[in-house]
Amino acid sequence: MRKLFSTIVVMACLLLAVPAQAQVKFGLKGGLDISKLDNNVGDNTTGFFVGPMLDVTLPIVGLGIDVAALYSQSGMDVNNKSSEKLKSIEIPVNLKWTLGLGSTFGVFIAAGPQFGFSLNDGWKELMEETNKNFVSVNVGAGLKLLQHLQVGVNYNIGASKLGDIIVDQSKNLRSAVRKNSWQVSLAYMF
């Protein structure tokens, strides 16, 4: 019984010591956003995003969290009416697993939710009803280079609707619109 208790205490101490060794890095992230609204209501449009980020990694297992607060301008093209920009603050919270080859190179995969908050009303003219807040899911991969650079590719899947559009004028049918995006990013970690 003492051996079991001693083993549990040693394991608990090791698990508590691992977070103390966590690598915490702050940085700046930016990139290109290529958006498409679902339901075939428009063409692909291009935008950008930029903002601060926090990357916390446990060195032994390579598991960590990547959080950012990004100012984003995503393209919005509804039924070829206009190419308005959806200006928003987006907060991705990704669980990230990194496989490192020393301190100069690493490969990572990431997934998690992203919370968006609209800053403008100009795109509301393109839809019947709109939402100020929206949620999406991120799935991505990338490279960590030279301890300071991160290059990534991300696919963002709309989980909640941005708004409703009228699909058929005669029958007044409405359809929910979600935004899906490909994102290419570059981050510099301090």
Domain assignment present for residue 14? The answer is no
Structural domain total, the chain: 1
**Residues 115, 131: contact at Cβ < 8 Å?**
no
In a domain, 88, yes or no: yes
| pTM beyond cutoff 0.85 | no
Among the listed residues 40, 132, 26, the one whose alpha carbon sits nearest the alpha carbon of residue 77: 40
* Domain region containing 27: 23-189
33: CB partners within 8 A, 6+ apart: 46, 47, 48, 49, 72, 73, 74, 75, 181, 182, 183
- The torsion of the CA quartet 138, 139, 144, 147, rounded to 10 degrees, works out to 30
For residue 185, being part of any structural domain is answered with yes
And the tokens for 82?
A: 């206009």
Q: What is the structure's pLDDT at 101?
A: 75
CB distance 17 to 165 below 8 Å: no
> Per-residue pLDDT for 11 more than 60?
no
Calculate the CA 1 to chain-centre distance: 48
Residue-wise pLDDT for 35-57, tens only, equals 887 655 667 788 999 999 999 88
Whether 70 is in a domain gets the answer yes
Asked, for residue 30, whether it belongs to a domain, the answer is yes
Region 76-104: mean pLDDT is: 79
Residue 36 lies in a domain: yes
Residue 7 in any domain: the answer is no
Q: Is residue 8 part of a domain?
A: no
Query: Where residue 28 sits, what CATH number does that domain have?
Result: 2.40.160.20
Q: Do residues 166 and 174 lie in contact, with contact meaning Cβ atoms separated by under 8 Å?
A: yes
